[in-house]
């Protein structure tokens, strides 16, 4: 679109459950589908354990021989880079005997910065440049956060950003719909308190929409900080505030909430989708956005279909 | 400028809340289908001729449907597959008394498509093997006479009539296929090479193409993991879905353990400077598989493996 933006796909949609998508031939088929639809990067999601072979650099090495061997396979298939890796410090990491860490706890900051090093090294090796992180835990867990708590979190991300910067990888804050960061004032404060040289913002169109934020408005407000984009659509806004209720991960996202929603997210261009992608692309083009545009399709009933529909929309409608 | 363009032969099924459906079921399913096929690089679409009825209902006319395809990145409808259920009482190529009906019903069908630039009318040149056996020369000659007449008629529409030899078709062995093309007029009857069908029948599709390249007007590129070792071709009432040997004969090209040597075939195409459309097909992909994934995988193979040989 600007001559520099590149198209990636988040491979997380192929793994809806912890014991799905474990075999190498399944990975190869997914990667070929992604490549066939014109995407040249993939985003991985951090995970743990033997049934998540793409969850950690060590797991990739165990399954593919080495990081280099996996990267070579990607390039044979037509994928140029692992453009980004999603990391939530709150998730357990069996390999580190960690039940999960909190960026709201300053005592955890050093361990979080240490924990992301292998991901950073892998990204640098594979042509990637973004460590996409969950900036704050779920809002129903944190309650309303004061300025002090947000400053603590920001300090933590500055430390992590400093740890990754040396390898050319930036930390990018990704506010999912349940995160306490999916709130205009909290997001403003986090970005105000973090170092723009070290920490950027991932704009996720559907997550923000579902949380009640307009992604185009968020982009306009923070355009100088957006260094990564997730593109997906949704038909829904959480007008009832279900994201703030206990166990929203299960009650809302998994079970569908009070409205019994089968699927919160959908492909770009789905009829009735709420995200104004042309408006966002207009803004990105105006700024000559140079980063990755990563398409996603969590909760899809058919991953290949979703990649194909997103690929069509990217090429035929967004002219990417 | 590429020598080759890729078209997709439609056998599509989509999973829906009410079970598997074709894209002819609703405009929404059609939108999804066309977008997916276009997304992976297909520029053409092949289909059965009888789909004109549903498409006319959905879009008003077949011309408007092609305009809709063009709006979504598909250049044209390339080939039609003639959907005749052969019956020796009414329409059967080896029964000369039925030739008039075959010619005239095909003329009527092509008339409905005449405003489009269809390239090939693909036909199974003989009935099912068990409905024709024993396959003797006179029956092959009768079929040749039939398709010479159809081909002469279709030429008037600017459409080539071309023979597609299913593994269960009566004209299925290399010897009989070569006889058929010897007895048909090259001006009116072409050869359409379906890689998997020949492979299942024990015929090397590359060797067959080498022999018939001057007659070849197109391809169905699809793969198989099985050669018919059980005389499935003779299985009544049906070989394709009901023979005991396997529930699934066809796979997308590039499939693991696929028997078709596509790179060798592409070298043969390059040798003979074939230009034009190649059609990708993988019918019955939903048996243990998925049409969307098979379609994307096939085009990955075309772009990343076959294009290295010839494009």
pLDDT tens digits, one per residue of A263-290: 999 999 999 999 999 999 999 999 999 9
Over residues A10-44, the pLDDT tens digits come to: 998 898 888 889 899 999 999 999 999 999 999 99
Q: Confidence band (pLDDT; 50, 70, 90) for B88?
A: very high
Closest in B15, B39, B297 to A311, CB measured: B39
Amino acid A125: pLDDT: 97
Q: How many CB atoms lie within 10 A of CB B217?
A: 20
Q: Which of B41, B292, B299 sits opposite A305 (nearest CB)?
A: B292
Q: What's the confidence (pLDDT) of residue A236? A: 97
Chain B residue with the nearest C-alpha to that of A36: B300
pLDDT at A3: 53
Residues in A touching B43 (Cβ below 8 Å): none
Instruction: Measure CB to CB from residue B36 to each of A35, A77, A309 and give the nearest one.
Output: A309
**Looking at CA atoms only, how far is residue B54 from chain A in angstroms?**
23
User: Which residues of chain A have a Cβ shorter than 8 Å from any chain B Cβ?
Assistant: 25, 29, 32-33, 35-38, 77-78, 269, 271, 301-305, 307-313, 315-316
- Count of other CB atoms within 10 angstroms of residue B218: 24
Q: What's A3's DSSP letter? A: S
Average pLDDT, chain B: 96
pLDDT for position B176: 98
In chain B, pLDDT over 90 holds for what percent of residues? 89
A-interface mutation test, from B21, B35, B299, most A Cβ less than 10 A away: B35
Angle separating helix axes B205-212 and B262-271, nearest 10 degrees: 10
Paired strand residues for B216: B191
Q: Which residue of A has its CA nearest to B38?
A: A312
pLDDT of res. A74: 98
Q: How far is A234 from chain B (nearest CA, A)?
A: 17
Please give, rounded to a whole number of angstroms, the shortest distance from the CA of A23 to a CA of chain B: 15
- A308 contacts B292? CB cut-off 8 A: yes
- Say yes or no for a CB contact (<8 Å) between B300 and A313: no
SS3 A252: helix
Mean pLDDT (whole number) for A240-269: 93
Note the CATH architecture for domain A6-317.
Alpha-Beta Barrel (3.20)
pLDDT of residue A250: 85
pLDDT at residue number A2? 45
CA R_g for chain A: 18
Of B15, B38, B297, the CB nearest to A29: B297
Q: Where are the domains of chain A?
A: 6-317
With contact defined as beta carbons under 8 Å apart, do A114 and A159 qualify?
no
ipTM of the complex: 0.78
| Contact (CB<8Å) A312/B297 | no
Pairing, β B14-16 against β B19-21: antiparallel
- Residue A96 is predicted with a pLDDT of 95
CB contact under 8 A, B35 and A308: yes
Burial of B15 (0-12, 13-18, 19+ CB in 10 A): middle
Q: Which residues are CB-contacts of B65 (< 8 A; sequence separation ≥ 6)?
A: B55, B56, B58, B59, B77
SS3 labels along chain B: CCCEEEEEECCCCEEECCEEECHHHCHHHHHHHHHHHHHCCCCEEEEEHHHHHHHHHHHCCHHHHHHHHHHCCCCEEEEEECCCCCECCCECCCCHHHHHHHHHHHHHHHHHCCCCCCCEEEECCCCEHHHHCCCCHHHHHHHHHHHHHHHHHHHCCCCEEEEECCCCECCCCHHHHHHHHHHCCCCCEEEEEEHHHHHHCCCCHHHHHHHHHHHEEEEEECEECCCCCCCHHHCCCCCCCCCCCCCCCEECCCCCCCCCCHHHHHHHHHHCCCCEEEEECCCCCCCCCCHHHHHHHHHHHHHHCHHHCCC
Q: A312, B36: Cβ pair inside 8 Å?
A: yes
Reported as a single tens digit per residue, the pLDDT across B102-151 is 999 999 999 999 999 999 999 999 999 999 999 999 999 999 999 999 99
Are B296 and A77 a contacting pair at CB < 8 A?
A: no
Q: How far apart are CA A158 and CA A152, in angstroms?
A: 10
Task: List all residues 6 or more positions away from A195 whose beta carbon is below 8 Å from its beta carbon.
Answer: A158, A161
Structure-token pair, residue A165:
């910067």
Cβ atoms of A310 and A297 closer than 8 Å: yes
Strands B120-123 and B4-9, bridge-based pairing: unpaired
Helix axes B52-59, B62-71, angle to 10 degrees: 70
Give the helix ranges, DSSP H, for A78-181: 109-115, 117-125, 139-142, 147-165
Tokens, residue A236:
């829904």
- Contact flag A78-B304 (C-beta cutoff 8 Å): yes
pLDDT in tens, B50-86: 999 999 999 999 999 999 999 999 999 999 999 988 9
Distance CA B262, CA B172 (A): 20
Q: Closest-CA residue in chain B for A305?
A: B292
Which chain B residues contact residue A303 at CB under 8 A?
Answer: 293
Chain mean pLDDT for chain A: 96
Q: How much is the CA Rg of chain B, to the nearest whole Å?
A: 18
DSSP state, residue A12: G
The residues near A68 (Cβ < 8 Å, ≥ 6 apart) are A125
Paired tokens of A262:
């089968």
Prior bond of A254 cis (ω within 30°): no
Q: What is the 3-state secondary structure (H, E, C) of B258-285?
A: CCCCHHHHHHHHHHCCCCEEEEECCCCC
Q: Do residue B72 and residue A35 have CB atoms under 8 angstroms apart?
A: no
Comparing C-alpha atoms, which of B263, B276, B153 is closest to residue B213?
B276
CB nearest A304 (choices: B38, B72, B296): B296
Q: Residue B179's pLDDT is what?
A: 98
Q: How would you class A185 by CB atoms within 10 Å of its CB: exposed for 0-12, middle for 13-18, buried for 19 or more?
A: exposed
Interface contact flag, A33 B300, Cβ < 8 Å = yes
Check CB contact under 8 Å for B72 and A312. Answer: yes
């Amino acid at each position: 679109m600007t001559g520099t933006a590149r198209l990636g796909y988040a491979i997380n949609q192929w793994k809806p459950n912890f014991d799905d998508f474990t075999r190498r031939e399944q990975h190869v088929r997914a990667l070929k589908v992604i490549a066939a639809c014109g995407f040249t990067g993939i985003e991985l999601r951090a995970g743990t354990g033997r049934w998540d072979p793409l969850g950690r650099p060590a797991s990739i090495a165990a399954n593919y021989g080495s990081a280099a061997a996996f990267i070579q396979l990607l390039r044979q298939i037509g994928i140029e880079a692992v453009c980004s890796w999603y990391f939530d410090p709150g998730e357990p990491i069996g390999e580190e005997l960690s039940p999960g860490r909190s960026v709201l706890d300053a005592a955890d900051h050093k361990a979080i910065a240490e924990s992301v090093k292998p991901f950073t090294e892998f990204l640098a090796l594979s042509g990637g440049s973004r460590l996409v992180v969950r900036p704050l835990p779920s809002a129903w867990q944190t309650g309303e956060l004061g300025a002090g708590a947000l400053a603590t979190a920001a300090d933590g991300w500055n430390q992590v950003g400093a740890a990754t910067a040396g390898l050319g990888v930036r930390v990018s804050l990704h506010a999912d719909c349940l995160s306490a960061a999916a709130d205009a004032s909290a997001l403003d404060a986090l970005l105000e308190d973090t170092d723009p040289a070290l920490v950027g913002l991932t704009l996720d169109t559907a997550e923000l929409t579902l949380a009640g934020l307009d992604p185009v408005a968020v982009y306009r407000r923070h355009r100088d900080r957006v260094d990564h984009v997730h593109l997906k659509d949704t038909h829904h806004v959480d007008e009832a505030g279900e994201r703030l209720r206990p166990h929203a991960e299960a009650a809302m996202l998994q079970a569908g909430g009070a409205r019994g929603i089968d699927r919160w997210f959908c492909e770009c261009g789905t009829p009735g989708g709420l995200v104004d992608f042309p408006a966002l692309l207009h803004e990105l083009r105006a700024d000559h956005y140079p980063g990755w545009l990563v398409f996603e399709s969590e909760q899809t009933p058919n991953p290949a279909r979703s990649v194909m529909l997103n690929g069509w929309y990217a090429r035929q409608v967004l002219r990417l | 400028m590429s020598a080759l363009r890729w078209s997709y032969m439609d056998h599509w099924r989509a999973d829906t809340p009410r079970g598997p459906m074709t894209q002819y079921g609703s405009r929404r399913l059609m939108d999804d289908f066309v977008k997916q096929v276009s997304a992976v690089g297909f520029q053409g679409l092949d289909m059965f001729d009888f789909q004109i009825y549903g498409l006319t209902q959905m879009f008003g006319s077949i011309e408007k449907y092609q305009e809709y395809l063009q709006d979504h990145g598909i250049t044209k409808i390339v080939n039609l597959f003639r959907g005749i259920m052969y019956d020796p009482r009414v329409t059967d190529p080896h029964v000369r008394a039925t030739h008039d009906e075959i010619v005239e019903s095909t003329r009527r069908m092509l008339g409905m498509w005449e405003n489009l630039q269809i390239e090939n009318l693909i036909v199974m040149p003989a009935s099912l093997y068990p409905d024709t056996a024993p396959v003797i020369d006179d029956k092959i000659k009768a079929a040749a006479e039939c398709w010479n007449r159809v081909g002469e008629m279709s030429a008037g529409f600017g459409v080539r009539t071309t023979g597609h030899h299913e593994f269960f078709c009566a004209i299925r062995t290399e010897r009989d296929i070569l006889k058929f093309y010897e007895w048909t007029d090259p001006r009116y009857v072409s050869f359409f090479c379906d890689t998997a069908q020949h492979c299942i029948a024990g015929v090397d599709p590359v060797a067959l193409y080498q022999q018939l390249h001057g007659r070849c007007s197109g391809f169905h590129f699809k793969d198989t993991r099985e050669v018919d070792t059980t005389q499935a071709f003779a299985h009544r009432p049906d070989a394709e879905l009901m023979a005991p040997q396997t529930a699934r004969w066809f796979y997308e090209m590039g499939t693991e353990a696929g028997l078709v040597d596509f790179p060798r075939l592409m070298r043969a195409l390059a040798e003979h400077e074939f230009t034009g459309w190649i059609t990708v097909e993988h019918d019955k992909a939903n048996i243990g598989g998925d049409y969307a994934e098979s379609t994307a995988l096939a085009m990955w193979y075309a772009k990343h493996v076959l294009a290295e040989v010839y494009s």
